[in-house]
Chain A
Amino acid sequence: MRRRLDGGSQVAEAPAWPAPERRLDGYEILSLDELERYPSETHGGSVLLPLRQRLGLRAFGANCWTAEAGAQIVPRHFEESGDEELYVVVRGRASFAVGEDTLDAPAGTLVHVLPGTMRQATAEEPGTIVLAVGAPAGRAFEGRGWDEVVVAFAHGRAGDVERGRALMHDVAARQPDGWEAPYNLACFEARFGDADTAFEHLRRAVASAPAEVRGYAREDRDLASLRDDPHWQELFE
């Protein structure tokens, strides 16, 4: 699984801001504290507040991250997608490491990072929220759905498998080509559904990109329940 949810508990803090959430014709008002919170295993335990999905953003990506003080808030990564990113410390304080540099970043700090530069941040105060905005320069933004996958796995872990599965299929429907969507569906089914369906998705992923899928599948804990199945040997050995 490339993008999924941590099994840890959600960060639950009293909202610091009032909640004026309102949907109106052509516009919408909400408080960041109204966003659900989803710890992400594939993002080092950082807690996602899925703003892009909530608003249905189409022109650029924008999501928030939070974490307990001392914990990772912006996952260590560079942008394989080619997205240029701006991080905005909305509340609290974070310490950023970007390339070889470090920065103490109180609320109101803006950090711009190009796609190939490694970045990471740690929350330094309780309740810290960092907004991450991203899109590719020179190309139209397309939501790849990693954030929805994080949310879908949360639903699966909470026992609402149908809701999670529906979200996974929404993401897959937007990505008819490539191996990632069927691979993620296989991971979801292996964790929360049934093995036969997981193998169906996994076969499609392997057919699309055999080398990449073999590379990920070998170490992926989401697929652990499939490894003793004879179908696994057929696919990979």
Chain B
Amino acid sequence: MNAAHVDELDRVELPDGFVWRPIRRRFDIRAFGVNAYTARAAGSPIVETHKETQLGHEEIYLVLRGRANFTIDGNEHELAAGQLVFVRDPALERGALAVDADTVVLALGGKPGEPYEVSAWEAMFAAVPAANREDWDEAIRIHDDALGERPDHPALLYNLACMEARGGRHLDALLHLQRSVELDPKWAAHAHSDADFAAIRSEPGFPV
């Protein structure tokens, strides 16, 4: 049976402080977005402060265990197990802190009227543990897999270039960075101050 308990899910500690517990990726769900989140400690972030403007998702955050203090559009709401917030408007900023150390929040999302597409950020999150231990081959593989489905995703290409630059694959990094900037010029500005590109910044062809 394709089943797991939330406590058995992978733990990916992210730089913003919250802990991603991948569900969609674990089961390879293709019809909607679903993940769980936990915190490093009571009082720590459990849901990243963000908007869904880019993806256009409507989202449900359901507290499965413990309590979380949500801030939605500037308003604070403490929710306990069995309570949820449905954020209909993608433009509203939302985030949460765990009140109890063992709090678990289930997040569900999708864009009304469109087939679900796997979000590019998943691959970036999934590559964090490999990047933390400087396993660049693994981090690059995770990005390559994601790009297999979405070959022209600028953010994925940019992140792949970061991993390649750190891993010593300088020519690949340059080519993927160029492609990212070609698709979305905003990435050129990011590249100029990104420490990941220190080794290739003086190479001919580095985006200006």
A and B: real partners? yes
Q: Tell whether, in the assembled complex, residue A110 and residue B85 are in contact, meaning their CB atoms are under 8 Å apart.
A: no
Q: Which residue of A lies closest to B110 (CB)?
A: A59
**Contact across chains for A141 and B110 when beta carbons are under 8 A apart:** yes
Chain B residues with Cβ below 8 Å from A110 are: 3-6, 23, 27
| Chain A hits for B23, CB < 8 A | 86, 110
> Do A17 and B81 touch across chains, with their CB atoms under 8 A apart?
yes
Closest to A32 in B: B82
What is the interface of chain A, defined by CB distance below 8 A to chain B? 16-18, 20, 22, 24-33, 55-60, 62, 83-84, 86, 88, 90-91, 96, 98-99, 101-103, 105-113, 129, 131, 133-141
Q: Which residues of A contact B113 (CB under 8 A)?
A: 58-59, 140
The 8 A CB mask of B84-99 against A (1 = contact, 0 = none) is 1111110110100000
- Judge whether A17 and B83 touch: CB under 8 Å: yes
Given A17-B80, A86-B23: A59 in contact with B1 (beta carbons within 8 A): no
Q: Is B73 an interface residue (CB 8 A)?
A: yes
Contact-residue size bin, chain B (C-beta under 8 Å from the other chain): 35 or more
B2 at the interface (CB under 8 A from A): yes
Interface residues of B (CB under 8 A from A): 1-7, 23, 27, 29-32, 34, 57-58, 60, 62, 64-65, 72-73, 75, 77, 79-89, 91-92, 94, 104, 106, 108-116
List chain B residues, Cβ under 8 A from A137: 30-31, 115-116
Distance between A185 CB and nearest chain B CB, rounded to angstroms? 26
**CA separation between A98 and B6, bound complex, in Å?**
19
